[in-house]
Structure 1
Amino acid sequence: MVSKSFTIKNKMGLHMRPANVFVTAMTKYESEIFIQFGGKKINGKSIMNIMAGCIKCGSDIVVECEGPDEEAMMAEVSELIESGFGEE
């Protein structure tokens, strides 16, 4: 398992569009992905769970990836989050 901390940068947080970008990117991987936020463990391949997490701009999250392609998955997660999901 690999994990990494991030701060959400895009102004609207993980609203519908970035949540969709995130889930679409992650579903191509075999590994499981979870987002730790606000005492919750959120399934990173479920758009509804991500939306329900209410992750706003400035929120600190921890992303955990576990499985055969976890390193590649985490690399793409890092790129997506650090780029602000292309919204900036």
Structure 2
Amino acid sequence: MIEEKIVVRIQNGLQARIATEFVQKSSFFNSEINLIKNGRSVVAKSIMGVMSLAIREDEEITIIANGSDEQAAIVALRDSLSNKKR
């Protein structure tokens, strides 16, 4: 299991289109992946769960991955949220 805190750098946060892309990327991996914001955990492969967190730009979240491709999942998801402005 890998756990990593990141600060979201996506302009306007995870609104519908970006959240959908994030869920699709999460679903590519075999690992179980969860997002945590303010103590609330959701499955990263669930659009309803991700949208319910209302993740905004500059907020800190935690990504947890557990499985055979957990390292690759963490890297890909971290990079998709923290390294670019959209």
Same fold, TM exceeding 0.5?
Answer: yes
Instruction: Please tell me the root mean square deviation across aligned C-alpha atoms, in Å.
Output: 1.2
| Whole-angstrom CA distance in 1 between matches of 2:81 and 2:69 | 19
Q: Percent same amino acid among aligned pairs?
A: 26
Deviation string, structure 1 residues 4-63 (Cα, Å, up to 9, x no partner): 111111221111111111111111111010011022001100011111111111111010
| 2:12 partner SS | coil
Structure 1 portions without partners, runs of 5+: none
Q: How does 1:4-83 map to 2 (within 5 A)?
A: 4-83=4-83
Q: Which runs of no fewer than 5 residues in structure 2 stay unpaired? A: none
Q: How many residues align?
A: 86
Q: Extract structure 1 runs of 4+ deviating beyond 4 A.
A: none
Deviation at 1:72, TM superposition (A): 0.9
